[in-house]
Structure 1
Amino acid sequence: MGDLIGPRLYSCYKCRNPVALHDDIVSKGFQSKNGRAFLFSHAHNVLTGPKEDRQLMTGLHRVADIHCVDCREVLGWKYEKAYEESQKYKEGKVVLEKYKIVKENW
């Protein structure tokens, strides 16, 4: 076992800005149009774009794209509002696409 320098986290794949903690993962079972994605309770060092209604695989949601605060790359989206009762648990949470983030301190 190596010495861990801090918490296990995920960073932007382009600029290595830390954006989310492994401990904040709610689900690893999400899909985006580009492949697997993780649902996080929240993200750090990100900017939230304008809110818009978007038809996703699980129905209509109001979402906002999440951008890396350093390089402005779009990393995923934040659920602002879920219109279906069964999807309400996603509100306020963030989806980061797996191919857009890299593991640090593992």
Structure 2
Amino acid sequence: MAGLVGPRLYSCCNCRNHVARHDDVISKAFQGRNGRAFLFSHAMNITVGPKEDRQLMTGLHTVADVSCCDCHEVLGWKYERAYEQTQKYKEGKFILEKSKIVKEDW
């Protein structure tokens, strides 16, 4: 029966809207504004805010905050551009803060 379970999902901590799949986790070793964060290759049911340059721990990046499309809780950000060559792998990826998401259907 374990093989019949659906995909493991992460949901918004506020309204339980599905925002990401566990299969899209690239790394759990990132830092957000409020503690640990996960790097995802994709996110869903989110809105992407305006782009802005931010000095992060790994250098200057152009990022856009991402929010739940239902309750508008800010969940993290999307990397739009990395200025340092070693950070280019983050472009187009999403940071979701661990404190802002919950495991769903595990």
Which bin holds the TM-score, normalised by the shorter protein? over 0.9
1:101, distance to aligned residue in structure 2 (A): 0.1
TM-score for both structures, normalised by structure 2: 0.96
1:18 alignment counterpart: 18
CA distance in 2: counterparts of 1:104 and 1:76, whole angstroms: 18
For residue 33 of structure 1, report the CA deviation from its aligned partner. Answer: 2.6
Instruction: Please list every run of 5 or more consecutive structure 2 residues that lacks an aligned counterpart in the other structure.
Output: none
Deviations 1:48-100 (A, max 9, x none): 00000000000000000001000001000000000000000000000000000
Is 1:104 aligned with 2:67?
Answer: no
Q: CA separation in 2, counterparts of 1:34 and 1:93?
A: 19
Which sections of structure 1, spanning at least 5 residues, go unmatched?
none
Does residue 62 (structure 1) correspond to residue 76 (structure 2)? The answer is: no
Aligned residue pairs total: 106
Is the Cα–Cα contact under 8 Å of residues 4 and 105 in structure 1 kept in the other structure? no
The residue identity in structure 2 corresponding to 1:69 is C
Q: Give the TM-score of the pair, scaled to structure 1.
A: 0.96
- Superposition misfits of 4+ residues, deviation over 2 angstroms: 1-5
State the identity %: 74
